[in-house]
Structure 1
Amino acid sequence: MNRSATPWVDRRAPAVERILDAAGALFAEQGVDGVAMGEIAAGAGCSRATLYRYFPDRPALQLAFVQREAIRVGALVVADLADLPDATGDLVTEAVLSALRHVRAAPPLAAWFRETDAGRTADLAQGSEVIEALGLTMTDDPDAARWLVRVIVSLLTVPGGDAAEERRLVERFVAPVIALTVP
């Protein structure tokens, strides 16, 4: 077999995905801060040495999890918006509400917005990768994207009384401002 003709395969990807999946399941069960690295390794079916090969510490693993999930939610938001008419204010409202729905529907993500874990989430959400994955799906303006992620984190941490109230707030206070920043 000619090795140069064999495509390179990143063998880390399945292990990393398994580790992040196990972490997500444990976050949903025990909360973000309630999960030890050894539990994640056991849940992923790998050794602690393997876990630490990919993630040097718990904050690095948590950041990787949040980045992966922000990319996933961003893609879901884009898919949700695909059939909507091109009216910027409506798109921004629908994008924010879509992000809220997707995060709330996923127990591993909802865990990040429990009272005990929300501060850590707010810090991680401001990372550039999270902004790019989620906020920039709604606007091309990096400052507006950062602000949108803050709004989403805020509504996830301190939700409105009901879906209608959240829609009204987003329509009244978020969409008009973002509509002005979209080129």
Structure 2
Amino acid sequence: MSESATAGADWMRGTRRSAVQDRILEIAGAVFGDRGPDASMSQIAAAVGCSRATLYRYFDGRRRLQVAYVDRVARRISAAVAADVVVEDPGERFTESVLTALEHVRAEPALAAWFVPRGAGVASELALSSELIERAAVALLGDESSAPADGDRLDAARWVVRVIVSLLAVPGGTPAQERATIARFVAPVVVGRRGLADTR
């Protein structure tokens, strides 16, 4: 083991497990920004300053580390959206929330790298399998969503995740065009305030 890997392992032994995992995910984000979501455990371990075996003690595989990273980012963006969007109208609030989430993801190189063509498949799969992202999408629906049951709200939330992932992978033109598309074709259906015909 190299001297830097030994130093990294020494630092980990003296630190709470949750703090080590947080630091690993922070460093992994930078690696993902440079190398995309398919960065190897060896590359991440080298950036952390530990051996691959040590990294596996905290995350038992690359997919587990990727999911933890996506969940961590989703939690942070969800909190940012909740703080940034203060609109009362449910349809407008939903539209602003989606646009704000897109803006936060696109503003960070470590996140944007997940949605270039070579990484979009992995990012989409992880986003669509993340329970935390589903919960964040349910929060976007707000209390006034017309979905009458938890199952319907969850189905709507999953569809919202697909819309967001699609716009990240294939942007919908200018910000104004994306806003118009979401306001016209997504918000009315998800929030259920009016029919599509009324939005023309």
TM-score range, shorter chain: 0.7 to 0.9
2:141, 2:190 within 8 Å by CA — same for their partners in 1? yes
Give the AA of the match of 2:119: D
CA distance, structure 2, for counterparts of residue 46 and residue 75 of structure 1: 31
Q: C-alpha displacement at 1:112, in angstroms?
A: 0.7
Match of 2:42 among 33, 38, 43: 38
Query: Counterpart of 1:70?
Result: 74
CA distance, structure 2, for counterparts of residue 76 and residue 119 of structure 1: 25
CA distance, structure 2, for counterparts of residue 103 and residue 37 of structure 1: 23
2:25 is paired with a residue whose SS is: helix
Q: C-alpha displacement at 1:11, in angstroms?
A: 1.2
Give the AA of the match of 2:133: V
2:37, 2:122 within 8 Å by CA — same for their partners in 1? no
CA distance, structure 1, for counterparts of residue 22 and residue 54 of structure 2: 13
CA distance, structure 2, for counterparts of residue 36 and residue 95 of structure 1: 33
Q: C-alpha displacement at 1:18, in angstroms?
A: 1.2
Compare CA radii of gyration and give the structure with the larger one: 2
Per-residue Cα deviation, 1:60-85 (whole angstroms, up to 9, x for no partner): 1111111111111111111111x32x
Per-residue Cα deviation, 1:102-144 (whole angstroms, up to 9, x for no partner): 0001111111101011111111111222211x31220262111
Match of 1:153 among 160, 165, 171: 165
1:156-171 correspondence to structure 2 within 5 Å: 156-171=168-183
* Structure 2: gaps (5+ residues): 1-14, 143-152, 194-200
* Structure 1: gaps (5+ residues): 1-9
1:138 is paired with a residue whose SS is: helix
Q: Is 1:19 the equivalent of 2:21? A: no
Per-residue Cα deviation, 1:122-171 (whole angstroms, up to 9, x for no partner): 11111222211x31220262111111111000000000111011001000
CA distance, structure 2, for counterparts of residue 156 and residue 50 of structure 1: 34
1:1-183 correspondence to structure 2 within 5 Å: 11-33=16-38, 35-81=39-85, 83-84=86-87, 86-127=88-129, 128-132=131-135, 134-139=136-141, 141-180=153-192
Per-residue Cα deviation, 1:18-68 (whole angstroms, up to 9, x for no partner): 1111111011111112x2212211212333222101111111111111111
Give the AA of the match of 2:117: E
Residue identity over aligned pairs, in percent, reads 51
Structure 1 stretches of 4+ with a deviation exceeding 3 A read none
CA distance, structure 2, for counterparts of residue 76 and residue 69 of structure 1: 11
CA distance, structure 2, for counterparts of residue 180 and residue 161 of structure 1: 25
TM-score, with normalisation over the residues of structure 1? 0.87
Q: How many residues align?
A: 168
1:122, 1:153 within 8 Å by CA — same for their partners in 2? yes
